[in-house]
Structure 1
């Protein structure tokens, strides 16, 4: 398998954790997000959203969106499981995983922050203050779960 990611991408980081917990061998290809490598035509054929992570299976299938990749990993390589055995425990893990994936990560996403600066004219201090507010709210909720 090949994981296309970037060391600063929290979504790619979560994918590396899952692959390593399952003991799966994979090759890493770094897509330098700060340099805009995700917008290259070649990478657009790998991931039409121009985002990381993307997992290329040994069969050549290209899997995108970390929650969907997690499910594929769990269904394809069930042991060791990333989820508890009981339904309530599984729900709790999924809910906790949704907080960074849905509430925290999008706010700190490089393309969102760059849009605030380039398209909306916000300076770095305003962007940092905005992001910090929403990220802190997300983590505060996660810590209470």
Structure 2
């Protein structure tokens, strides 16, 4: 596989941080292999590719790093997702209330119209006596 300039920079940063026993190199590793993960490469292929680039990492370590990263992302996205779901639920409830109010308004207007019609029908019998 060809390596672009961004990947070369990340590889050199990972090597430097890993050699200095810094813990932040795993985030750089995730940035480096995120494209490979999206291409559905296996963990062993990714580990082999990293070894070819000079970064010694076992398949299990790679799995753990990716798993922790995904878990952390899920945890960070959870409140956002919950908030958007709450907003959507509130909108749906409000729409249902509006629909119910509209139906009730239609029912009331229909009932009023029927009552007026019945009153007209009751009173129509007396109209014929007006000319007497």
**TM-score, length of structure 1 as denominator length:** 0.21
Greater CA radius of gyration, 1 or 2?
2
**TM-score, length of structure 2 as denominator length:** 0.23
**Relative contact order: is structure 1 or structure 2 higher (C-alpha 8 Å, sep ≥ 6)?**
1
More helix by share: 2
